[in-house]
């Protein structure tokens, strides 16, 4: 069987590693226009004591360095959970071309629920967004993590 979303599987592995560190299991991967992975990361909010330590932001920062530009034009982001408003805006600022995400985030999402950052006239760059990629796997990671905390 051909894996049509290898980068989402990489993001899921990053999420698993985040959970092992006691972080909310969210993983992200930034892929360049040529399909090569520029950066990958898992959440690091608790460990870094940084409220902006979201997987997307960490991966975007590292990808910009690897790409040699603050604009990641032509790049794609794979993330296991719908980005929050902060991350959605950073994605727009970085000019990421496409966003692929796993599970919807009904409480904190900033793309398809909540703030819906890309629907605002003032958002200068609006990436293509594709949700529900390996959604069951991503949602299970989150569900299992929070159930183990209760």
| Residue of 68, 61, 65 whose CA lies nearest to 44 | 61
Return the active site residues: 56
CB-based contact 100:5 (threshold 8 Å):
yes
Q: List phi, psi (to 5°) of 78.
A: -110, 125
**Distance from C-alpha of 57 to C-alpha of 55, rounded to nearest angstrom:** 6
CB-based contact 37:10 (threshold 8 Å):
yes
What token pair was written down for 114? 């909540």
Helix, strand, coil % over all residues of the chain, rounded to 5: 40, 15, 45
């Amino acid at each position: 069987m051909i894996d049509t979303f290898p980068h989402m599987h990489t993001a899921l592995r990053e999420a698993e590693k985040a959970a092992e560190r006691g972080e909310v299991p969210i993983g992200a991967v930034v892929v360049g226009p040529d399909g090569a992975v520029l950066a990958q990361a898992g959440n690091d909010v608790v460990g870094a004591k940084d409220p902006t330590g979201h997987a997307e932001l960490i991966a975007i920062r590292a990808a910009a360095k690897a790409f040699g530009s603050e604009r990641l034009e032509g790049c794609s982001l794979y993330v296991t959970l719908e980005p929050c408003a902060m991350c959605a805006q950073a994605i727009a600022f970085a000019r990421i071309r496409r966003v692929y995400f796993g599970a919807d985030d009904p409480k904190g999402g900033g793309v398809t629920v909540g703030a819906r950052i890309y629907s605002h006239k003032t958002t200068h760059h609006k990436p293509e967004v594709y949700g529900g990629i390996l959604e069951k796997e991503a949602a299970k990671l989150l569900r299992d993590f929070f159930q183990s905390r209760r």
